[in-house]
């Protein structure tokens, strides 16, 4: 059986990882910052828009509903015919 099997939780002994932690920024750091720079403003704008427009939309819907209830004339009750 091979003796150089890497077990989960143990660091591997390859040449790439023997140098210790890398100093500076890697491509993953740059990609993360770029992704956050693109998505955070979109989500903040969408959230602020929703918070600002929700009361306006609720008030407009309530006013329209109230207007339709008040302007409706009562319907006459149908007369039952005797047979």
pLDDT by 10-residue block (mean), the chain, 83 residues:
61 53 81 96 97 96 90 75 69
What's the confidence (pLDDT) of residue 55?
A: 95
In a domain, residue 48? The reply is yes
* Spatial contact of 11 and 17, defined as CB atoms under 8 Å apart: yes
What's the confidence (pLDDT) of residue 59?
A: 96
Nearest-CA neighbor of 46 among 37, 57, 54? 54
Domain that holds residue 63: 41-71
What's the confidence (pLDDT) of residue 5?
A: 63
In a domain, residue 6? The reply is no
In a domain, residue 28? The reply is no
Q: Within 13 Å, how many C-alpha atoms sit on residue 68's CB side? A: 5
- C-alpha pair distances (Å), 82 with each of 14, 76, 77, 78: 98, 18, 16, 13
Q: What's the pTM?
A: 0.49
């Amino acid at each position: 059986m091979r003796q150089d099997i890497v077990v989960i939780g143990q660091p591997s002994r390859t040449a790439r990882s023997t140098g210790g932690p890398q100093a500076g920024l890697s491509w993953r750091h740059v990609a993360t910052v770029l992704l956050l720079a693109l998505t955070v403003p979109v989500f903040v704008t969408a959230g602020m828009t929703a918070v600002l427009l929700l009361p306006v939309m609720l008030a407009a819907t309530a006013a329209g509903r109230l207007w339709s209830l008040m302007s409706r004339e009562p319907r006459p009750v149908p007369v039952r015919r005797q047979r």
